[in-house]
Amino acid sequence: MKDHPQHPVRQLEPSALWNRFADLNAIPRPSKHEGRVVEWLHEWAAEKGLQSLQDKVGNVLIKKDSTPGMESRKTVVLQSHVDMVCQKNEATDFDFMTEGIRMIVDGDWVRADGTTLGADNGIGVASILAVLESSDIPHPALEALFTIDEETGMTGALGLQGGFLSGEILLNLDTEDDDEISIGCAGGVDLTSRGSYDEVDTVAEGNTALSLVVRGASGGHSGMDIHKGLANANKLMNRLLLEALDSVDLRVAEIQGGGLRNAIPRESRALLVVAKEDVDTLIDAIAATAAVLCEEYDTTDPDLVVEWEERNLPSKAMCEEDQHALLLAIQCCPVGIHRMSPDIPGLVQTSNNLARVQVGGGHVEIQCLNRSSVDSEKDDHARSIEAAFALAGLVTEQSGAYPGWTPNPSSEAVAMCRTLYEERFGESPRVLACHAGLECGILGTNYPDMDMVSFGPNIRGAHSPDECCQISSVQKFWSYFLEVLQRTPERNA
């Protein structure tokens, strides 16, 4: 699984960080399949003479004593997650379960060949490893916490028990703008709506089938990118179908749209049944809506494409009544921003991502991820989504709920990080809460007195095959990170 030792990524500076990132990206590590990377972390720690522990859910803790002269400083927890979002372009032949990420150096950016890069949160993991293996970086006593399954439920952070950590300050290295210091985040809940529908026979003389595809949407992180107004392929597919029904009778045999809950869906496919004499009318209706969609999303999703072709006729499709109810329910499902924060300028407070739509064989499953920094509003927004699908006879389950991270305005760590940023870069950082889900809120439930702050380098397109990490920004982040470690306050200061 190792890449070539002379891979261009391994020649970048800081060398230790990029080499550990390359090591990490050689190991397949989808969410909920972190066994290989967890084993590698233990082996790596043993090679470096460091103590490694593992809790009952699979989180790894590696400890390192302070360097000389730093013994009286507060112990710092360095925290990042080892799993990655696995998304690829439709035409990319790649198996996330068996292959290492194929990285490309493109000017000032590192990206992957048609897949997610894993910089979220691999750069954070690599940064921590580079500090742990160093012999010349001053630092206090360190507890390096590597959590599992952050991207699909935060089950690693949720399963972490009190008493596993002893540090007083936690540095989370999982944000994506190098001029930001994050001090809070949204909570979230997974919504899964399921139901069944009656099918009708379609094998009749005079019927044919049409495959309809929406692809090329920009996609992105369903928290950090939700404010950009990006196309949601599931919503676009539903609009194509509803507007086509204004012109021609059709039946839906299948819909497969989207993928992961935390990724804005880029693609959707549907299989439609229509009378042969109505094919041209259906195509004209689809083409008209497609032209409007491409114009509406030309700025945010310039590669958006709607395609169609005739296919073999399926034996079954949705009955008209159930089809009507389902398409209207999807139309009612809120997508994107529900409310901006009235207290923090520019912060999305509550949103929903209609992440996945699966229709076929008499069954429907729809997956959403609902986020909010206000739990009561999150609950109310979830009820709206549940109500929309209840009108189509679907039953909604909630799972994977996690709390937000409430900002602490008197945080000693935040004040230190802000002052240091101003000194180093001659400008004030943006100190803010974000709409993504960070693990700090969950970790704080069992460690309420731990002082927490989050920062990281510039990463763009996270959760999509466009994900890339800026080389010069990593260098800026690295120098800042090392000085943060040196500025750690004294115990009982």
- Chain segment 95-122, per-residue pLDDT in tens: 999 999 999 999 999 999 999 999 999 9
Residue 493: exposed, middle, or buried by beta-carbon count in 10 A (0-12, 13-18, 19+)? exposed
For the beta sheet containing 169-172, the strands, ordered from the edge strand earlier in sequence to the opposite edge, are 51-54, 60-64, 142-147, 76-81, 169-172, 451-454, 180-185, 430-434
pLDDT at position 8 is 96
Annotated active-site residue in 150, 151, 180, 225: 150
Cβ neighbours, 10 Å, residue 45: 22
Q: Among 210, 214, 222, 218, which residue's Cα sits nearest to residue 248?
A: 210
Q: How far apart are CA 418 and CA 180, in angstroms?
A: 9
pLDDT at position 187 is 92
Q: How far apart are CA 435 and CA 415, in angstroms?
A: 22
- pLDDT tens across 142-168, in order? 999 999 999 988 999 999 999 999 999
| C-alpha pair distances (Å), 249 with each of 207, 281, 359, 363 | 11, 10, 19, 22
> Nearest 10 degrees: CA dihedral of 127, 130, 136, 142?
70
- pLDDT tens across 252-282, in order? 999 999 998 999 999 999 999 999 999 999 9
pLDDT at position 201 is 93
The domain segmentation of the chain, as residue ranges, is 8-186+405-486, 189-402
3-state secondary structure 418-441: HHHHHHHHCCCCEEEEECCCCCHH
Annotated active-site residue in 23, 34, 83, 225: 83
Residue for token digits 């859910």?
Answer: 57
pLDDT at position 358 is 98
E-strand stretches of 107-249: 109-112, 142-147, 169-172, 180-185, 187-196, 199-201, 207-215
Structure tokens at 424: 């180093």
- Catalytic-residue membership of 467: no
pLDDT at position 4 is 60
Q: How far apart are CA 61 and CA 157, in angstroms?
A: 12
- Catalytic-residue membership of 83: yes
Helices (H) and strands (E) in the chain, counts: 11, 23
pLDDT at position 276 is 95
pLDDT at position 3 is 61
Q: Among 326, 391, 397, 328, which residue's Cα sits nearest to residue 363?
A: 326
CATH number of 8-186+405-486: 3.40.630.10
Q: Are 469 and 121 in contact (CB under 8 A)?
A: no
Average pLDDT per consecutive 10 residues, the chain (493 residues; last block may be shorter): 75 98 98 97 98 97 97 97 94 96 98 97 98 97 97 93 96 96 94 97 88 96 94 98 97 96 96 96 98 98 97 95 98 96 90 98 98 94 97 95 87 96 97 91 93 97 95 98 97 74
Cβ neighbours, 10 Å, residue 14: 17
Domain 189-402 has CATH 3.30.70.360: yes
